Structure 1
Amino acid sequence: MSRTERLLDLIQLLRRHRAPVAGPALADELGISIRTLYRDIATLQAQGADIQGEPGVGYVLRPGFTLPPLMFSADEIEALVLGSRWVARRAEDPRLGDAAANALSKITAVLPDELRDSVDGSNLLVGGGEVIPAQVDLSAIRLAIREQRKLVIAYRNAGGTATERTIWPFAIGFFDRVRVVIGWCELRTDYRHFRLDRIDRMEMLAERYPRRRAAMLKEWREREGIPVR
């Protein structure tokens, strides 16, 4: 285990306890010596962690400490690299791809050398594949979701029949070949899924829809039997 991972484990262990925890108990659970524990606590305090206590009394982490990027574990770094690479290559949204690359660059810039090397040398690759191109701007749909705005769309179903719908978008699904916007359809008075490659045109209205998107997402998940993680 690297020192960075050990510090992360110590922070997570302290987070689980509201009352002070004795140093020997912390050292035993982490599998380190008490001297190493004292050094690690001093390191975290120097980085801004509000750890209060002293040898013989116990230690407690006060609320409000946000882990700096260097506290990511190797597995978490690989997850971030893989996710950003997938978004850049497969999301079919240039602005989202650029944002993913920029975010990863900001994180990488403040990582210690041992973790920065794992970013540069990550062997988790995103494969290619055909994505059916959308006819509308995916970033505009994301904006409508963030601002809880209604969308008017001209939509063709699988049989080619065209209809005009006013929807309340609250989520986007990214599948292997298609992208799907999920929303409440005023025409059907129910939740519906709309493939982006079948939306011929789209207009975002100034009008906000009357329900909270988080509430609709929760209701839709329950109806579809999709667990919340």
Structure 2
Amino acid sequence: MQLMQLLRRHRRPVSGWELAGEMAVSLRTLYRDIASLKAQGAEIDGEPGYGYVMKPGFVLPPLMFSSVEVEALMLGMRWVADRGDPVLAAGARDAAARIAAVLPRALRRELETSALLVGTSLRKSAPTATIEPMRAAIRGGLKMKLTYRDKQGAISHRVIWPFAVVYFEEARVLAAWCELRGDFRNFRADLIVQLEPLEERQPKPKNVLLDAWRQMLKTSGLTILPESDSLPF
């Protein structure tokens, strides 16, 4: 499991020596574990002296997590169940139940009795009624028609290409390309007057827009996102 997760974090071939070092095992043990994963169906390309990379899509049954991973999952799902819109909150509760159903008894007990809790927010979060249509449009790669009231009360009508929803403690922010401004714009959910998905698809994939937006934020020195995104996807 540790080797599989390590290979998933590397999108380019990584040497056997580096893998063995990160796992604190001998090179001989590493080669044996790679052979074991291959025997179970993992598509691992590479050879000694070249490096190894695993093609995506392989899942090693049965589903298994470490104690720390269980705590991280439970904390995240509790946060979403408490802070998310009704659809996302229900998804978090369903995911928790599904994960608990397949865990071994000891880990299931850790999941159900996790002591990492989500406290009451000191700030009132923004209304979330419009969040699910945003997420649906992002998943489908669709444009949206937006009526927006800024902090000064001015109303504008726009066509946007939504590609991300940013969850702050005090607000939810929709990141999109705005056809009216010809640039990226961030819209607070609680200031959106009306939101309507269109049947027209966005000209660019959301991952392209997201990467360009991240680069724009970095270049501008804005702090809308954390310093580092350490997730491998």
Say whether residues 1:125 and 2:117 are aligned partners: yes
CA distance in 2 between counterparts of 1:211 and 1:106 reads 35
Residues 82-127 of structure 1 show CA distances to partners (whole Å, capped at 9, x for unaligned) of 1111101012x11111111111211111111111111011001011
131, 136, 141: which one pairs with 1:138? 131
Q: How far is 1:133 from its partner? A: 3.3
Report % sequence identity: 40
Q: Which runs of 5+ in 1 are unaligned?
A: 1-7, 35-40, 52-59
CA distance in 2 between counterparts of 1:221 and 1:18 reads 27
Aligned residues: 199
Say whether residues 1:216 and 2:209 are aligned partners: yes
Match of 1:101 in 2: 93
Call closer, same or farther: CA 1:65–1:138 in 2, change over 3 Å.
closer
| 8 A Cα contact 2:125 2:169, kept in partner | no
CA distance in 2 between counterparts of 1:123 and 1:151 reads 41
CA distance in 1 between counterparts of 2:103 and 2:25 reads 23
Q: TM (normalized to structure 2)?
A: 0.72
Q: How far is 1:150 from its partner? A: 1.1
Q: How far is 1:148 from its partner? A: 1.1
Q: How far is 1:165 from its partner? A: 1.3
Which residue identity does 2:205 align to in structure 1?
R
Call closer, same or farther: CA 1:160–1:71 in 2, change over 3 Å.
same
144, 149, 155: which one pairs with 1:156? 149
Indicate the RMSD between aligned Cα atoms, in angstroms: 3.4
CA distance in 2 between counterparts of 1:94 and 1:135 reads 8
Residues 126-176 of structure 1 show CA distances to partners (whole Å, capped at 9, x for unaligned) of 111243433742111100011111111111111111111111100000000
Matches within 5 A, 1:50-199: 50=41, 65-68=58-61, 70-91=63-84, 93-129=85-121, 130-134=123-127, 136-199=129-192
Report the structure number with the largest CA radius of gyration.
Answer: 1
Q: TM (normalized to structure 1)?
A: 0.73
Call closer, same or farther: CA 1:112–1:192 in 2, change over 3 Å.
same
| 8 A Cα contact 1:155 1:200, kept in partner | yes
SS in 2 for 1:188: coil
Call closer, same or farther: CA 1:18–1:215 in 2, change over 3 Å.
closer
Q: How far is 1:13 from its partner? A: 7.2
SS in 2 for 1:71: coil
Q: Which runs of 5+ in 2 are unaligned?
A: 43-51, 219-224
